[in-house]
Amino acid sequence: MAETIACAICGAERPTELVEKTTVATISPLEADICAACQLVQDHALADTVCMQCGADADSGFYIELEFPLGVTELPGRLTGGLCGDCAADIACRINYEGVDADPEAKEELTALIDEEADRRQTQPATSSPTGGRS
């Protein structure tokens, strides 16, 4: 049976010839045992004028800098680049809503507000005109 080694990022056991003790952009200058697939993903970069998430034009976009635990071994990762307005808004909105989900009191309050709005919609008479029944 061929010898294997685990990739420090994805954790997959790979044949030793497919894993290299090297660095990638997200952990540089540190080195770790990294498979070829993770090397490609972690070293991939789009042009500065392109959104790093969706590939759209990001000339007037938003710069982001993240430090995070990378992979199964939680290497000290760092990622920088530009986002278009839509992707920046999506990330910010996701952070805000998931932050509420992480706070039991805030989540309960948000659920109550959503339930109250749903109850109001059910008790209001339906209108078929786009002006809400006004002329």
Task: With respect to residue 133, please indicate whether it lies within any of the assigned structural domains.
Answer: no
DSSP annotation of 63: E
1 has a pLDDT exceeding 90: no
Domain containing residue 72 = 4-123
Band (pLDDT 50/70/90 cuts) for residue 124 is confident
> What is the reported pTM?
0.70
Residue 97 backbone dihedrals phi, psi, to 5 degrees? -70, -40
**In which element (H, E) is residue 22 found?**
strand 19-22
Q: Give the pLDDT confidence score for residue 105 in this predicted structure.
A: 95
Residue 89: inside a domain, yes or no?
A: yes
Domains identified in the chain, total number: 1
Q: Flag whether 12 is in a domain.
A: yes
Q: b/e per residue, 79-99, with b = 16+ CB within 10 A?
A: eebbbbeebbeeeeeeeeeee
User: For residue 34, is pLDDT > 90?
Assistant: yes
**CA–CA dist 112, 41 (Å, integer):** 42
Residue 130 located in a structural domain: no
